[in-house]
Structure 1
């Protein structure tokens, strides 16, 4: 035990002082990739078995719900052509630079960190796929986190709810900018240093502001869930609930926000993203509707 403790201390010291330990960590992660894949097999098998034994009534009800959603999305898609054309005309009037689509690649969850004080996960994309440290990760609803380490075939993602993670955000309704920091809980973010007189309300949508050149602008991050004014101090206590489904999503998109790999990646459909933003915003949204930003 003493020998193991001594070796652990030596590794911690080497990791703190020398950059070559990043390569050692990456090779170690590559070696453990088959083990992680084997460990994920039971959960995949259970998901497959649950789909097999689903009752006919559940499938019929799910089919009805999907048909209703299809009708709703079809109606919204019919409006997108005129809205997109109007947006182009307005941007031309303002002489604004057209927004560029961001390349992306899909990724799937392999394992979650068992440490209750760490909010991290491992996905099945690595250096050979073009993944890089700092790469933003989103799911179908909003921002999930960013890549913190990359091995040959896998990447470790730090979730936005981790206490060590912070992301620049802005209120979708009025554009005010703040920092949203993880609270160490799966359903809470803390909005830092919000003055008492700031125009922020419960239900406000927080999106990435594009500051710090890390996360692209306009991706949903969280919705304000609590605002407590502090008469005795300069700042209010503001909490927000993440938009992304961090506790249930298994498929993700890894965005190439800064560097694009040589291989060609699919492009996000602006109309589809605009519809997704409308779906995640309730009808009581204070902003009066989504802004329809494309990624």
Structure 2
């Protein structure tokens, strides 16, 4: 299922948070959004999972504007892991993960045997099965993040959007989660701050600065030393990973005087 952000703009209190963003996420691919803080990444994602209505433009899933579909249908198609995804109620881990099946159930209908097995399998994959009986509020930040990722995955969405899913995770769990995303078969749009993880995980990358798309393409096309200095304001050397060949950035500790986020979008840039 293809996801497309079509000339998406979001203006709040006179401030353009996202400016005419056009971005394609082909069926089954992982596309990353990267950019400095405040560049509009999370705002764009909120439009996808309908937490925010765009001022202009549209979010299309297989050519249909999500604003024209029912909330229930959207929830069946699109799952989200957000930065604000923490549980307010102290459900157990097993109960929280099972909530991912809610769009597919009627009322208090019990989980089927297949759904119970799905929840158990995803919890095991994300290393939270041993926490099944624990209250979510008793968990560490990293444990809770993995539980919320499991909840999104058991939803079996066709489109999965994730906002900084590796927050709070140690290196092992970062790699496990991103590997699981790549193998999920879903169409994935993910915001990442770690450019090296983005290069290793994503089929394509879009770079945002001040709400606009300034570059888009395969990791090797996008993650250049010139772009990193221009957009992020840091000096970096780009080298191939010795095993995978993916671009990897080696940073200098002294930042350049370039003002991060100052880049504007080239005409007609889209992914």
Whether TM-score is above 0.5 comes out as no
Larger Rg: 1
TM-score computed with the length of structure 1 as normaliser = 0.24
Between 1 and 2, higher relative CO (CA 8 Å, sep ≥ 6) is seen in: 2
